[in-house]
Structure 1
C-alpha cells in the first residue's frame, strides 16, 4: 500500500480537517453573501434618483447659506456679533456652486468587478492560510501526541521519508482546496458583479493581474501550511505551533509594534510580518513617515516613503519556511522518536 495515498486518506477522513475546512468555507461564503446584499446594480432610475438627491442637497445648502448670511448682516448691524462668529465681510458667505454637489455621492454601493475584486483576494488568502496552518499543525501534531507516529515508523522505519510523505500529502490536499476555493471565489464575485454591479472594462490585462494575485494567495496558503506542519513537528504537539503563533503575534508583533512606535522608529511597520504578507499579495506596500516632511517646489509637504515589494516578501517567507522545515527534518533525524 502506498504511504502517500494512505496519508491522503487519513488527511481527508480526519474530523478536525473537515470541520476546519467547513468553518473556513462558511466564513468565505458569508463574505460573498454580505457583498451581494450590500451592493446594488446602478440603472437609469437609480442615477435619476441620485441626481434629484444632489439637487435637493444643493437647495438645502443654499437655504442654510442665505440664513447664515442674514444672521451675519443682522448681527453686524446691531453690533452684537461675537468675535470669530462671523467673517468681517458678510458678502463672502455664498452658496456652493451647483457642480460642487455631485450625484455620484448619492449613488448606492455597487460592486465594480475591476475596481473591487482585487481587494477581496487578501481576505480569501488570509482565511485559507489560517485553515491550512491549523490543519497542518494538527495533522502531524496529533500523530505525535497520540503515539501514531511511533506506530507508523514500525511499519515504515524511514523517518525522513515518513515525515516528508506526510508533508507532501498535506500540501497536496491544501493546494487542491486552495485552488478550488479560489476558482469558486472568482465565479462567485463575477456573479455578484453581474447581478449587483458591473463587469465593464475587464481586459485581458486585468484578468491576468487577478489570476497572478490569486496564484500568490495559493502560494501563501501552501507556505503557511508547511510552516504550521514544521512547528508542530518540532514541538511534537499541535499546541507548539498554535502557541508559537499566538506568542509571535501578541508579544512579537503587537508588543514590538507598540515599542517601535513609542521609540519613534521610522517605518515601524517594516518590522511586522503582516506587512510582508500584504506586500506579497498586493505586489508592494508603501510606508509613509509624516515626521519627515519633504517640501516640494510648490510648498507641498510630502512624507518620506519606503517600499516593500513582493520580491522582498517572497525572500522572507521562503527563508522562514525553509529554516522551520529544515529544523523539523533535522530534529526528526536526530531525536529519539519514543
Structure 2
C-alpha cells in the first residue's frame, strides 16, 4: 500500500473524524429543517391576507390620527396644549404608501436572495471541522509517537508530512464538493416548496458556483492551518490554543482597544470581516467617527471597501506561512 493510500485510510477510519463529520451533518440538517419550517410558499391567499392586513393597519392609523387631531384642537388654549405640536402642525398623517402589503407577507425562501447566506454557513462549518480534524490528524501522530515510528519506515520527513497534508486536503476537497452539491440541491427543493427559484438565471447560478468555490478554498486553508499549527507544536492542543488565543486577543481584545481608541476602520483589523469579504466578494466599512452630523447634507462617513482579491491574498499568505513553517521545522528539528 502506498504512503498516500495509507494516510487517506488512516484519516477516514479515525473515530474522531467520523464523529465530527456526523455532528456537522446533524447541525446542517437542523439548519435546513429550520429553514423549511420557518418559510412558506407565497400564493394568492397569502398575498390577499397581507393586503387585507395592511389595509386594516392603515385604517387604524387614520382613525388614530383623526382622534389625535381632534384632541389636539380641543386642547388648544388649555394647559394640555403643551402635549401637542404648535397649532397641531406636524402631527403624523399616515398615507397608504406607509403600509406596504409586502411587509405583512409570511417569510418565504427566495433562492437567489437567501441561499448565499447558506453557502457561507456551510463553508464556515466545514472550515471549522477541517481545522479541528486537520490539527488532530497530525497532532495525534506526534503525541502518540506514531510519527517517529512512521519515519523509521519512511525516513523522508518532508515527503511524509507533505503526503499527510495532501491526503487531508484531497479528502476535504471531495467532502466539500459532495456537501455543496447536496446542500444546493436540498435548498433548491426548499425553495420550490417554501419559496421561489424564479429569479435564478444562468448568471445567478454562475455566481453561486463561484461562491461555493471560494468556500472550498476557505475550507482547505482551514484544514492546512490546523494541520500546520499542530505540526509546529507537535500536539493538537497547539493549534487549538493558538486559535483560542487569537480569538481572545485579536477579536475581543484588539477590537475593544481599537474601538475605544476610535481607530479609523477598526473592523478591517478583525478576521470575520475578511471572511465576509472573501465569501461575498466585497464588504464596505464605514467610519462614522468621521461624520459631521451637524452639516446640512447629513452624515457622509468615510468608507473602505474590502474585496475578495484582498481577502484571498491574506488567505494565501496565511496558508504559505503556516505550511512553510511546518515543513521547515519538520526538516530542521529533531524527531523526539
For the criterion TM > 0.5, the same-fold answer is yes
In structure 2, C-alpha distance between the alignment counterparts of 1:93 and 1:133, rounded to whole Å: 58
Check if 1:263 corresponds to 2:261. Answer: yes
Check if 1:71 corresponds to 2:59. Answer: no
TM superposition shift of 1:66: 1.6
In structure 1, C-alpha distance between the alignment counterparts of 2:274 and 2:157, rounded to whole Å: 34
* Alpha-carbon displacement from aligned partner over 1:189-234 (angstroms, at most 9, x marks no partner): 1111000001112110000001000000011100110010000000
**Alpha-carbon spacing, 1:325–1:65, altered in 2? closer, same or farther (3 Å):** same
Match for residue 200 of structure 1? 198
List aligned pairs for 1:126-137, cutoff 5 A: 126-137=124-135
In structure 2, C-alpha distance between the alignment counterparts of 1:94 and 1:276, rounded to whole Å: 43
TM superposition shift of 1:294: 7.3
For structure 2, the 5+ residue unaligned runs are none
Match for residue 244 of structure 1? 242
Match for residue 122 of structure 2? 124
List aligned pairs for 1:50-69, cutoff 5 A: 50-69=50-69
SS in 2 for 1:288: strand
In structure 2, C-alpha distance between the alignment counterparts of 1:92 and 1:128, rounded to whole Å: 55
TM superposition shift of 1:92: 5.4
For structure 1, the 5+ residue unaligned runs are none
**Alpha-carbon spacing, 1:294–1:213, altered in 2? closer, same or farther (3 Å):** farther
List aligned pairs for 1:165-244, cutoff 5 A: 165-244=163-242
Check if 1:292 corresponds to 2:290. Answer: yes
Could you tell me whether the CA contact under 8 Å between 1:39 and 1:110 is conserved in 2? yes
In structure 1, C-alpha distance between the alignment counterparts of 2:312 and 2:96, rounded to whole Å: 51
Match for residue 16 of structure 2? 16
SS in 2 for 1:287: strand
TM superposition shift of 1:55: 1.0
List aligned pairs for 1:248-327, cutoff 5 A: 248-293=246-291, 299-327=297-325
In structure 2, C-alpha distance between the alignment counterparts of 1:261 and 1:40, rounded to whole Å: 41
* Alpha-carbon displacement from aligned partner over 1:146-194 (angstroms, at most 9, x marks no partner): 1111111111111111100111111111111111111111111111100
SS in 1 for 2:183: helix
**Alpha-carbon spacing, 1:224–1:51, altered in 2? closer, same or farther (3 Å):** same
**Alpha-carbon spacing, 1:92–1:290, altered in 2? closer, same or farther (3 Å):** closer
In structure 1, C-alpha distance between the alignment counterparts of 2:218 and 2:181, rounded to whole Å: 16
In structure 2, C-alpha distance between the alignment counterparts of 1:276 and 1:201, rounded to whole Å: 28
Could you tell me whether the CA contact under 8 Å between 1:121 and 1:213 is conserved in 2? yes
**Alpha-carbon spacing, 1:221–1:69, altered in 2? closer, same or farther (3 Å):** same
In structure 1, C-alpha distance between the alignment counterparts of 2:28 and 2:116, rounded to whole Å: 15
* Alpha-carbon displacement from aligned partner over 1:110-131 (angstroms, at most 9, x marks no partner): 0011111112211111110000
Could you tell me whether the CA contact under 8 Å between 1:16 and 1:135 is conserved in 2? yes
List 4+ stretches of structure 1 deviating above 3 A.
Answer: 91-95
In structure 1, C-alpha distance between the alignment counterparts of 2:292 and 2:202, rounded to whole Å: 39
Could you tell me whether the CA contact under 8 Å between 1:288 and 1:303 is conserved in 2? yes
Check if 1:7 corresponds to 2:7. Answer: yes
* Alpha-carbon displacement from aligned partner over 1:257-288 (angstroms, at most 9, x marks no partner): 11111111000111112211111111111110
In structure 1, C-alpha distance between the alignment counterparts of 2:263 and 2:323, rounded to whole Å: 32
* Alpha-carbon displacement from aligned partner over 1:224-255 (angstroms, at most 9, x marks no partner): 10010000000000000001000001112210
In structure 2, C-alpha distance between the alignment counterparts of 1:111 and 1:294, rounded to whole Å: 39
Aligned length in residues = 335
More moved, 137-146 vs 65-74: 65-74
In structure 1, C-alpha distance between the alignment counterparts of 2:108 and 2:207, rounded to whole Å: 22
**Alpha-carbon spacing, 1:99–1:319, altered in 2? closer, same or farther (3 Å):** closer
SS in 1 for 2:327: helix
In structure 2, C-alpha distance between the alignment counterparts of 1:38 and 1:285, rounded to whole Å: 28
